[in-house]
Structure 1
């Protein structure tokens, strides 16, 4: 076996490791939420399927912000209708059993918290809050949605009817709540403005591609990594350094790295235990296996 190919293991092997060394630090990626109807940016091969809004584009022009908010306005209803899947629920069960500890998530959908998971660090922020880049004012995303609804009567019906591929289908929803719309529909959209300073620089409080995670948040995650007996990665190809750096940090300190996801990852060389399988059924099985070990030990 090549040195950069991780050792494939069984659910029982991972359960044994967690029983002996838990609670593990958990790092989750977009693959965690695909079974909730929020597709990843990347396909099974790890290559990007769609190009997300970048920080540089969003901050560059009012037109880019108008395009984002028009698409996000349409995507928000379906995005917020997503519910925790079996994988999210299993993470909560594993945390309650003591097998999992804190969770670092690269997702901005809040589904871990909805499933009851505690001690969640949202590495890339949360779509539930909006911040003004000009004055720093913060506002709830639902209030921004209400403003856009009032300022754009009938926009949803018109926009959804204009996309030749049918943007209302769930495969078009992206991890940041964005959705595909034609430019002609976007140009008529009235974007939200800050109620304090009046500027059009409202931005969801998330780290877009090309943006930087706040330093204090990164330091907190490094501290969690350094203290972890095991790092478990769920649903991430680790293509982005934002999450991959914690795998590198753990491996450099001799901390076992367990990866459960579909397809290859950027961190294969640092991975010590690997399961290539769907998350929902695998994590549910892991929760049962951990519970059985706990029962026997008790």
Structure 2
């Protein structure tokens, strides 16, 4: 019960945000850089846009599930997009939760890479899709939004009725005492521990870290919890870990309150998000999917549009 109360406070549903840093070059915010992670696609047919417009307007309480495909337009890559996703461009893979816990050397590597990537990752701004979601909520159209992303861009855009299914990288949790530290504060602590560590990079991953060699991270010092000396970890669900059960139950409750479901920018390859679409289908709720490329729920969708998310959503006019 204590864990449920902790996870369901407004403090943990929404992130403490970091202001843009002057640390990185202006190249990071150019249009070409932002869009280089968006897969190539044909525009949606006019007929499909009309169908989606009708779908949204016919809903009285819309449930939105968003994924990494909406943040690619802000310059954050996803994992699986053909040609431009992290897996297509490199052999870099996210750390497994068990490895993070078991091996101190893996934690050193993780935190060094995260430290270097943080100034750029934390400064990324919402794009048109995030703003449209916030506008729809303000207009009373969106009852609840669940995002699989850990970048806080929905919160930055103004969404309030939101659950961050996989957590938020703008928070850090101690695995021993469960105390929460804003990530921007930890950045200062890491900097003080590593005054000579001056590596910079513009090549961030979906979760905000960068690829560094063993030589580059040599001597890097990992901070401990200032409260109890425990292991610190971003308050996100690592690969190989599970979404906390109270959050899963909460999202199922919100899904039950909605009358239709819109998936935007997610392949639903990960079961943590896909299970809600399965449930929506079992509950006979209409499902629309907007994503570049195949998704795990295409066979469940009443409408599937394979096109750039913002190009489609900006054509949907609420009535």
Q: Give me the TM-score of the superposition, normalised by structure 1.
A: 0.86
Shift in Å, 1:186:
1.5
Shift in Å, 1:137:
2.2
Shift in Å, 1:174:
1.7
Residue 178 of structure 2 is aligned to residue 133 of structure 1: no
Partner of 2:305: 275
Q: Distance in 1 between matches of 2:140 and 2:281?
A: 22
Residue 184 of structure 2 is aligned to residue 153 of structure 1: no
Q: What are structure 1's unaligned runs of at least 5 residues?
A: 1-7, 161-167
Q: Distance in 1 between matches of 2:157 and 2:82?
A: 25
Partner of 2:238: 208
3-state SS in 2 of match to 1:39:
coil
Q: Distance in 2 between matches of 1:255 and 1:213?
A: 24
Q: Distance in 2 between matches of 1:48 and 1:218?
A: 27
Partner of 1:194: 225
Partner of 1:113: 155
Residue 19 of structure 2 is aligned to residue 19 of structure 1: no
3-state SS in 2 of match to 1:285:
coil
Question: In 2 relative to 1, CA 85–47 (structure 1 residues): closer, same or farther, beyond 3 Å?
Answer: closer
Residue 273 of structure 2 is aligned to residue 236 of structure 1: no
Question: In 2 relative to 1, CA 280–124 (structure 1 residues): closer, same or farther, beyond 3 Å?
Answer: same
Structure 1 segment 155-194 matched on structure 2, within 5 A: 155-156=197-198, 159-160=199-200, 168-169=201-202, 172-194=203-225
3-state SS in 2 of match to 1:155:
coil
Partner of 1:5: none
Q: Distance in 2 between matches of 1:285 and 1:101?
A: 21
Asked if 2 retains the 8 angstrom alpha-carbon contact of 1:86 and 1:281, the reply is no
Shift in Å, 1:140:
1.3
Shift in Å, 1:115:
0.5
**Paired residues, what number?**
270
Residue 58 of structure 2 is aligned to residue 38 of structure 1: no
3-state SS in 1 of match to 2:281:
helix
Q: Say what the alpha-carbon RMSD is for the aligned residues.
A: 1.7
- CA deviation map 1:248-284 (0-9, x unaligned): 0001111111111100001111111111111122222
Shift in Å, 1:139:
1.3
Shift in Å, 1:47:
9.0
Question: In 2 relative to 1, CA 47–111 (structure 1 residues): closer, same or farther, beyond 3 Å?
Answer: closer
Question: In 2 relative to 1, CA 48–247 (structure 1 residues): closer, same or farther, beyond 3 Å?
Answer: farther
Specify which of 283, 291, 301 is matched with residue 261 of structure 1: 291
Shift in Å, 1:176:
1.6
Deviates most, 98-107 or 204-213: 98-107
Partner of 2:3: none
- CA deviation map 1:13-51 (0-9, x unaligned): 111122122321000011111111110011238894441
Q: Distance in 1 between matches of 2:179 and 2:291?
A: 38
Partner of 2:135: 93
Structure 1 segment 52-71 matched on structure 2, within 5 A: 52-71=94-113
Residue 276 of structure 2 is aligned to residue 246 of structure 1: yes
Q: Give me the TM-score of the superposition, normalised by structure 2.
A: 0.81
Higher relative contact order (CA 8 A, sep 6+): 1
